[in-house]
Structure 1
């Protein structure tokens, strides 16, 4: 019985061996398919800048999914479990972000410098400095603060909008306005700040500059201005950045304003009859000489009415 049982089990194992072989082949085939699928869903690439240097630490993300990867020391990266047609977003500080569609082949990505990323930078003098490293006092005003208001002069835009900056009238009708940064510092010398328009020192101040042409105004109010511009910046520095066009965009603006002005607080003066009587009473003028003014036959001239009229102002930009 033992010999017969052994022969039976041997025959049974012999019959099952082809099945075992088929199962092993199937498992090996499935492993091959899985490996091929994994290779197919793996995206590789390189990220460089405009000069061809690899960018280290650039972030690559798949849109609609969490997670991502970063580039290594050579600018290379690998993304797993990605489908063909997926959109990739590549970002790095100081460079413009780029979005592209993966077609299945390795990627060679070039990021361009972003020259407009100056939100955390303050422009001073002939260079730039980070906000965190700026120890001086700087007041910044954008044109959005006054673009919707009828501002006729640049000095009017500064008035009351910057701490430590005062705008005073010279007292002459139509005369230039005086700008003082942190008050008056000298009795005999000039107290005018240094005016810099688009990086060029301007001796005539803000005269001739239209408020519509201004993009932003920065005022350096303490020792940092002296360190940059020397003794000329002892009274502060007013830096004006004007507008400039941008490529690919055409923008036309038109602004019209209309104003009426009248004299007010006019001093009260005597009329013709009152003045003629005063000449008779206090100057000893003969009454016969003033008779025409007294009875109204000579009404005289109202010089205040002749000189002062309603002023009309029209401005088109």
Structure 2
């Protein structure tokens, strides 16, 4: 199915561009080139890495090490050249471009302690716009504003830099992405949908975790919320959009190649002391070293028999069986029900005899974080490129877990044919390995840790080299397992292959007309394996667990989206208004395929294939497919360089809507007034003061199964109705 869709989308895109081309005038003399050198005003030294943009177009570049820049394919006519970089005051100058000729604009920048507003491309109709003119909320963070040490996860670098965004690590497991919430939850029920924003990388709509990306490849991040997001990306964008742009080569200078290599080494660490209780409620004998236990006859006398706690630990654990022996019963046991009198008398009243331990500190085993990146970028003729290779090893800080390892590579290419055609290809691949998923949400090991008293040494081993399985002698046996045992003996491995590929073509036959088409793919292949070998120990006899467990599976998903659009420009209308109009069509399909096998009672040890399980076998699978199509239009008006109006509408159709309501319309009307640019503005020292207003709608797509009637298959194939389904289902819409 995917290949048919791909061929169909490619034919549509080609036909669309070809149709536009037939109406174009002959070739290529409607554009020109702008070049120049940018230097520091105080030292006259060239400035590298300065962003240079022809406002209102997609023509942009950065200066090279000699401060040179070159922008080709600029439509003939009057334009505004915007130049910005961190630490300098931005400059905007008018430039007249003549078809077939090169215009030279050399500039000097004044140092400034305040970074000016950048250009914004996400959410605005028709291309890059000075941020001050954007009539709705957009936050932009570029590479210069991110921390110098590259993080393992790209979203970590945005913490504290995006107003209204809550970015919090919900898991300490290496390789896990943080949760991102933009200005609070948008629905009272996030089941099957979540509150996460929609992630876009170089135009590719992501369908899986952002954690697979290499942060070192990122050039900039733009965050759009509310109606502006929905008119861009429809019902999937009610929680906001985070658009990531990765690095590119530069057309500046005479060409060549530059290399960058970076290595970072650190140490993963967590707090190793949480103040484990040093007191206990057990009864001790008169020496204060032996614990009172009930005798074999069930006498209720409180101290007719005593034990040495550590000797008793060894006795019940040092057996050849796959489970521990039964411990003695304590007359006062915090793991059981206590009477009021006993509680008042002994609760946390005594000190543990002998040496005490801190189980948290024992479990914490800081491992190194090593990150290596090598990149190459440059220009060869009319082709620019950026390519990188990275390796990340994050060992984490928990004994018995290996952590996270990722190998990734990227190739970004741009090629221009004449002044009319531009081709972009972006590709990224990563392979990662990760363990510890079974310990998420306070899984077995971490929960057992909360029940480990200070007298327990969790690293103790029996005469067979096995960890003690029951280190806590109190009641509630299964909860008194050694917390380290599951970390060491449950083998969990998740292997992720991630492919993110996108291609686009732009055609500019006239200075006022641009057509574009793109095709993008995001695919995740996830293979997981969880294995407990024969001889897995438990606190009590449990044959199903003692004889081993296998849980293997795959979880593959992909998102394919293709789009085509038109951009029409009209500059200097009535010598006062610059306008842009956009039309766009988009088609997207999301697919998932899950299969897994579970079984217990292994025939032989050390064999992880599913056939090795002989009992309690379960095989499950599931497939989903969501299709979405949309049409959108927008208009942007820049009036007298200080008033802006942006209008957009989108007609969104989705297979997740009920059969009676397959389409939903979203709109947005926004305006901005740059008051500081008025001649009458009274405070000369204030260079930026903007009033913004925006009104629009945003939506939230229903979860996958909400519209469908579903059944449960019982014994003998009996069908039992589960949910009724809803053909009237619509997206949640707010204004």
TM-score by length of 2: 0.25
For 1:264 and 1:292, locate their aligned partners in 2 and report how far apart those are by CA, in whole Å: 24
Residues 44-84 of structure 1 show CA distances to partners (whole Å, capped at 9, x for unaligned) of xxxxxx933598xx9xxxxxxxxxxxxxxxxxxxxxxxxxx
For 2:274 and 2:207, locate their aligned partners in 1 and report how far apart those are by CA, in whole Å: 38
Q: Tell me whether 1:237 sits opposite 2:233 in the alignment.
A: no
Q: 1:120 to 1:258 in 2, by over 3 A?
A: closer
SS state at 2:232 partner: helix
Q: 1:268 to 1:303 in 2, by over 3 A?
A: closer
For 2:31 and 2:154, locate their aligned partners in 1 and report how far apart those are by CA, in whole Å: 47
TM-superposed deviation, 1:113: 11
Residues 198-220 of structure 1 show CA distances to partners (whole Å, capped at 9, x for unaligned) of 10100114121121111000000
Equivalent position to 1:254, from 248, 253, 262: 262
**Would the aligned equivalents of 2:230 and 2:237 in 1 still touch at CA under 8 Å?**
yes
Equivalent position to 1:280, from 286, 291, 295: 291
Residues 33-53 of structure 1 show CA distances to partners (whole Å, capped at 9, x for unaligned) of xxxxxxxxxxxxxxxxx9335
Written as runs of structure 1 = structure 2, the 5 A alignment for 1:128-147 is 128-131=127-130, 134-147=134-147
Written as runs of structure 1 = structure 2, the 5 A alignment for 1:169-248 is 169-171=169-171, 173-174=173-174, 175-189=176-190, 190-246=194-250, 248=256
Q: Tell me whether 1:263 sits opposite 2:271 in the alignment.
A: yes
Q: 1:202 to 1:308 in 2, by over 3 A?
A: same
For 2:259 and 2:169, locate their aligned partners in 1 and report how far apart those are by CA, in whole Å: 35
Higher mean C-alpha deviation, range 256-265 or range 154-163: 256-265
For 1:128 and 1:170, locate their aligned partners in 2 and report how far apart those are by CA, in whole Å: 36
For 1:256 and 1:314, locate their aligned partners in 2 and report how far apart those are by CA, in whole Å: 6
For 2:309 and 2:235, locate their aligned partners in 1 and report how far apart those are by CA, in whole Å: 70
Q: 1:223 to 1:269 in 2, by over 3 A?
A: same
Instruction: Name the residue aligned to 2:28.
Output: 51
For 1:151 and 1:242, locate their aligned partners in 2 and report how far apart those are by CA, in whole Å: 15
Extract structure 1 runs of 4+ deviating beyond 6 A: 298-301
**Would the aligned equivalents of 2:218 and 2:244 in 1 still touch at CA under 8 Å?**
yes
**Would the aligned equivalents of 1:262 and 1:311 in 2 still touch at CA under 8 Å?**
no
Tell which structure's C-alpha radius of gyration is larger: 1
**Would the aligned equivalents of 1:94 and 1:113 in 2 still touch at CA under 8 Å?**
no
Written as runs of structure 1 = structure 2, the 5 A alignment for 1:32-71 is 51-53=28-30
Residues 122-142 of structure 1 show CA distances to partners (whole Å, capped at 9, x for unaligned) of 212585253365322100000
For 2:310 and 2:233, locate their aligned partners in 1 and report how far apart those are by CA, in whole Å: 71
Q: 1:286 to 1:216 in 2, by over 3 A?
A: farther
SS state at 2:210 partner: coil
For 1:215 and 1:314, locate their aligned partners in 2 and report how far apart those are by CA, in whole Å: 22
**Would the aligned equivalents of 1:136 and 1:223 in 2 still touch at CA under 8 Å?**
no
- Aligned residue pairs total 214
SS state at 1:195 partner: strand
For 1:173 and 1:53, locate their aligned partners in 2 and report how far apart those are by CA, in whole Å: 55
SS state at 1:185 partner: coil
